[in-house]
């Protein structure tokens, strides 16, 4: 199935044909975006993963109530609701626990020890910057940094020399740095 199909068409396929592949494309398209938002809300990787998972499953169950618009934004709103509910629950549980020992520590402070807001923003800027690169350059980044493919193998796959790939990677990195810095300033 073509991954460039619009959200609305994919949702129609899920609702009419019960097609799991259509929903899988939607999940692949938006899971990183929803996960990033969940991460910023929950400040914890496991909780963010749980919230993202729950959001997509809830979106699937309520798909027939989707009113159109951007599917990713809709799932993000669902994830926000779920996340806030979980935080509220945690807080209530935490208050009882902390009250017992007469401690007034805020849960957010505890979570902040493992979470870095600036890093998370940079990470989002990096993801956006990578998404804006030409397809082949994105592929080079994916192979080298996400799949750990050595430069020589990348060069062979693309029919270029290793030095050529090194130079290209250097230029890509410089462009990414600039974009992240630019994003940071904004």
**Shortest Cβ distance from residue 70 to other proteins (Å)?**
19
Name which position in 89, 97, 127, 163 contacts other proteins (CB under 8 A): 127
186 sits near other proteins (criterion: CB under 8 A) = no
Name which position in 107, 111, 126, 151 contacts other proteins (CB under 8 A): 126
Determine the Cα–Cα distance for residues 38 and 146; give it in Å rounded to an integer. Answer: 22
Task: Please give the distance of CA 78 from its chain centroid, rounded to a whole number.
Answer: 15
Q: Answer for the pair 130, 39: CB distance below 8 angstroms, yes or no.
A: no
**Shortest Cβ distance from residue 72 to other proteins (Å)?**
13
Name which position in 20, 105, 163, 171 contacts other proteins (CB under 8 A): 20
- CB environment 155-186: b (16+ within 10 A), e (fewer): beeeeeeeeebeebbeebeeebeebbeeeeee
151 sits near other proteins (criterion: CB under 8 A) = no
Query: Which of the stretches 15-23, 85-93, 105-113, 151-159 binds other proteins when contact is defined by CB under 8 A?
Result: 15-23
27 sits near other proteins (criterion: CB under 8 A) = yes
The Cβ-side half-sphere exposure at 52, using a 13 Å CA radius, reads: 22
71 sits near other proteins (criterion: CB under 8 A) = no
Footprint on residues 35-54 left by other proteins (CB under 8 A): 35-36, 39, 45, 48-49, 52-53
Determine the Cα–Cα distance for residues 138 and 136; give it in Å rounded to an integer. Answer: 5
Instruction: Tell me the H-state helices in the chain.
Output: 7-17, 20-42, 45-61, 71-100, 107-112, 117-131, 135-141, 151-158, 162-185
- Residue 69, helix vs strand vs coil: coil
Footprint on residues 90-119 left by other proteins (CB under 8 A): 119
Using the structure block, give the residue that is written with the tokens 């030095």.
163
57 sits near other proteins (criterion: CB under 8 A) = yes
Q: Which residues bind other proteins (CB under 8 A)?
A: 15-16, 18, 20, 23-24, 27-28, 31-32, 35-36, 39, 45, 48-49, 52-53, 56-57, 60-61, 119, 122-123, 126-127, 141, 145-146, 173, 176-177, 180-181, 184-185
């Amino acid at each position: 199935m073509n991954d460039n199909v619009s959200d609305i068409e994919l949702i129609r396929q899920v609702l009419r044909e019960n097609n799991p592949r259509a929903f899988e494309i939607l999940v692949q398209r938006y899971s990183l975006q929803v996960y990033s938002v969940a991460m910023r809300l929950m400040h914890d990787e496991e909780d963010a993963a749980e919230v993202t998972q729950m959001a997509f499953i809830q979106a699937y169950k309520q798909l027939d109530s989707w009113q159109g618009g951007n599917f990713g934004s809709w799932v993000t709103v669902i994830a926000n609701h779920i996340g806030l509910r979980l935080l509220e629950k945690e807080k209530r549980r935490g208050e009882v626990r902390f009250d017992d020992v007469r401690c007034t520590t805020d849960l957010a402070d505890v979570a902040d020890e493992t979470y870095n807001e600036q890093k998370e923003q940079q990470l989002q800027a990096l993801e956006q910057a990578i998404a804006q690169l030409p397809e082949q350059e994105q592929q080079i980044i994916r192979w080298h940094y996400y799949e750990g493919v050595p430069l020589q193998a990348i060069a062979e796959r693309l029919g270029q020399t290793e030095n050529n790939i090194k130079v290209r990677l250097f230029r890509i990195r410089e462009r990414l740095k600039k974009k992240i810095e630019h994003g940071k300033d904004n």
